[in-house]
Amino acid sequence: MTEPYKASSEDLPNIIAPAGIEVDSNHLKIGDYYAKTFFIFTYPRFISSGWFSPILNMAEMMDVSIFMHPMDTALTLRNLTKKTAQIEAEINEKEEKGIVRDPVLQTAHEDVETLRDALQQGREKLFQVGVYITVYGQDQEGLAKLQNKIESMLESKLVYVKPALFRQVEGLNSIIPIARDELSILTPLNSSPAASLFPFISPDLSSEKGILYGVNMHNNSLIIFDRFSLENANSVIFAKSGSGKSYSTKLQILRSLMMGTNVVVVDPENEYKNLADAIGGSYFKISLTSESHVNPFDIPVIPEGEEPADVFKSHVLNLTGLLKLMLGTISAEEEAILDRVIIETYASRDITAENFGSTKELNPPLLEDLQVILENTDGGSTLAKRLEKFTRGSYAGFTNVPTNVDIKNRLIVFSIRDLEEELRPIAMYIILNFVWNLIRSELRQRILVVDEAWIMMKNKDSASFLFGLVKRARKYYLGVTCITQDVEDFLKSEYGKPIITNSSMQILLKQSPSSINSIGSTFNLTEGEKAFLLECGVGEGLFFAGLKHVAIKIIPSYTEDQIITTNPEQMLATKGIAR
């Protein structure tokens, strides 16, 4: 009769350990992966703090072990005394023979004497330090590339590594978390250089000015940051629906307004109305039947120091891009016709490149004026017919009306929720062009928020216009915030990654499994960071500012939450309506 199975202490190692390891002179094969262990054997005379951080922060599959064995101070001092005597004897011997002074010996003598003083006074301790790095790959070619990458990074700092030839098993045993140094390849280091290897670096993003973005989940410190202190003040926020991207943006807007920053918002889903109403901001609804209108042909104010002719040409290019967005696919010949007709449309109102900006007493043209000139231009009749719906058709109340919005407010919100899906990119283009002219007219610290920016990225001309805004924003003291839940559409555009590159601040909240790989490759995330973005809660994510990034939790006050929430349950409770 077979005896029943009994659990024993040997079961756990058998479950954890691989079925077998294939041992080679310079690598191991563990299951489906190859592993290779290196050790550091040479350090420069001076090493700065944080020199090891690039290795620790590499987004690669690797393990690092650091062993520090304390040395007996008394024994070390006796050995250093002997070493000093040997160096001095060698120096004296060379002087007696008339040999020119050896700077290497002189430097060694100074270093030994400095170390002796520090040890004698208790300012330093001495350690035998072993640093081992094991990298993993699915093939030997991947291992070789990773080896070259690590060697290049360390050699640039005059630190040199070697593979543990014929001792790869001992290297693996030194890496796994059993605290056993089987390689035992050690270098004597005193406290200061040894401390530079400290691996647990908690990044800090607190400053004396700026706004509170949230709480640092690494150390519970406050993330207080001024986006205008970076090389540019642009920001991107990526998150799946319901993870708190618009909520966190509204919190930033509220706190930025308290710091004296003006804010303009393009709102596709009517999420910023409560915020605008609560603080007395201007809220404009842009739709086919609304009372608020923006005429894309408005004459912008000429910025100080810029030539009217240059501003006119830029304005014509922007209008050409808008018309291309309205008309759909057009040929190069038709694009040239549009460019000429726009200039002629302004000329029909006595507005030219020379007097552009100084003709405020003249009424700017409308889209229907351009259509009339198109109808009477060779090759333009077809284009004029395609514009019919925007001038006399169902879309006329949206694109063919003089501007009547008052933009003299610290918070301005343009809502396009009630527009049809196909009109939203056009509306965003018109609004952003209008806002851009406002921003250029007066230098002031401003933030422009473009919610659901993926709408602009679906068309090449609108994406190019948005990228131009982001790229030129710094010159006008502007920070552009692009928010999107459709990461794939945003990154598919040829302008998606350039917009991210030109944004010094990024916030990544909870992501969906379908987009995490795109996000991971774009932002160079580690596997741990990708797992965190898949599992984190609402209002949690990663906050990037320049070269630093931390895990963030966004926390509002009670009053802020009441102003900015769009949670239906909370809003009903606030109004006293039972579920």
- pLDDT for residue 219 is more than 80: no
Kindly state the DSSP code that residue 209 receives in the 8-state scheme: S
Cα–Cα nearest to 128, from 53, 194, 39, 195: 194
- pLDDT for residue 94 is more than 90: no
Rg (CA), the chain: 33
pLDDT at 567: 67
- Secondary element (H or E) of residue 408: none
Hey, where are the domains in the chain? 16-71+125-198, 72-124, 231-284+410-579, 295-402
Q: What are the residues whose beta carbons fall under 8 Å from the beta carbon of 332, sequence distance 6 or more?
A: none
Q: Which of 7-11, 240-244, 319-323, 549-553 has the lowest mean pLDDT?
A: 7-11
Q: How many angstroms from the chain centroid is the CA of residue 48?
A: 27
Q: How confident is the model at residue 38 (pLDDT cuts 50, 70, 90)?
A: very high
Separation between Cα atoms, residue 425 and residue 420, nearest integer Å: 10
Cα–Cα nearest to 274, from 497, 569, 560: 560
pLDDT at 360: 62
Cα–Cα nearest to 244, from 559, 531, 510: 510
pLDDT at 164: 92
Q: How confident is the model at residue 546 (pLDDT cuts 50, 70, 90)?
A: confident
pLDDT at 39: 94
Q: Helix, strand or coil for residue 29?
A: strand
Place of tokens 């910025």: 303
- The CATH homologous superfamily to which domain 231-284+410-579 belongs is P-loop containing nucleotide triphosphate hydrolases (3.40.50.300)
In tens, the pLDDT along 393-402 reads 778 777 788 8
For 511, phi and psi rounded to 5 degrees?
Answer: -115, 160
Separation between Cα atoms, residue 246 and residue 1, nearest integer Å: 68
Among 4-13, 104-113, 197-206, 440-449, top mean pLDDT goes to 440-449
Quick one: angle between helices 527-535 and 516-523, nearest 10?
A: 140
Long-range Cβ contacts of 59-62 (<8 Å, 24+ apart): 59/524, 59/525, 59/526, 60/135, 60/146, 60/149, 61/33, 61/135, 61/136, 61/137, 61/527, 62/133, 62/134, 62/135, 62/136, 62/146
pLDDT at 579: 41
| Per-residue tokens: 164 | 């543990």
Q: Spell 473-487 as b/e; 16+ CB within 10 A means b.
A: bbebbbbbbbbbbbb
Kindly state the DSSP code that residue 206 receives in the 8-state scheme: B
Q: Helix, strand or coil for residue 238?
A: strand
Query: 440 with 476: CB under 8 angstroms?
Result: yes
- pLDDT for residue 392 is more than 50: yes
- CA dihedral sign, ordered 8, 9, 15, 17: negative
Q: Which of 98-107, 225-234, 331-340, 563-572 has the lowest mean pLDDT?
A: 563-572
Q: Which of 64-68, 210-214, 461-465, 480-484 has the lowest mean pLDDT?
A: 461-465
DSSP for 121-176, please give it.
Answer: TTS--EEEEEEEEEEEESSHHHHHHHHHHHHHHHHTTT-EEEE-TT-HHHHHHHHS
In tens, the pLDDT along 469-507 reads 899 888 888 999 999 887 877 888 888 889 988 998 999
- pLDDT for residue 251 is more than 90: yes
| Per-residue tokens: 48 | 């700065």
Q: Which of 197-211, 289-303, 418-432 has the lowest mean pLDDT?
A: 197-211
Looking at per-residue pLDDT, the higher value among 339 and 75 belongs to 339
pLDDT at 479: 92
pLDDT at 571: 56
In tens, the pLDDT along 376-388 reads 888 888 888 888 8
Cα–Cα nearest to 203, from 56, 48, 46: 56
Helix ranges (H only) for 176-298 are 191-195, 245-258, 273-279
Kindly state the DSSP code that residue 187 receives in the 8-state scheme: E
Q: Helix, strand or coil for residue 210?
A: coil
In tens, the pLDDT along 258-291 reads 988 999 998 888 888 889 898 888 888 888 888 8
Separation between Cα atoms, residue 184 and residue 131, nearest integer Å: 9
Give this prediction's pTM.
0.63
- Secondary element (H or E) of residue 17: none
Share of the chain above pLDDT 90, in %: 14
**Fold classification of 295-402 (topology level):** Helicase, Ruva Protein; domain 3 (1.10.8)
- pLDDT for residue 31 is more than 90: no
- pLDDT for residue 551 is more than 50: yes
pLDDT at 51: 80
Q: What are the residues whose beta carbons fall under 8 Å from the beta carbon of 356, sequence distance 6 or more?
A: 299, 302, 308, 309, 311, 312, 315, 346
pLDDT at 449: 92
566-575: average pLDDT? 61
Separation between Cα atoms, residue 543 and residue 500, nearest integer Å: 14
Cα distances (Å, whole numbers) of residue 176 to 21, 33, 63, 65: 14, 16, 8, 8
Cα–Cα nearest to 275, from 255, 294, 250, 300: 250
- pLDDT for residue 5 is more than 70: no
Cα–Cα nearest to 445, from 410, 417, 413: 410
Separation between Cα atoms, residue 234 and residue 251, nearest integer Å: 17
- CA dihedral sign, ordered 358, 362, 363, 366: negative
Q: Across all residues in the chain, what is the average pLDDT?
A: 83
Angle made by CA atoms 434, 439, 443, in degrees to the nearest 5: 165
Query: 247 with 214: CB under 8 angstroms?
Result: no
239-267: average pLDDT? 90
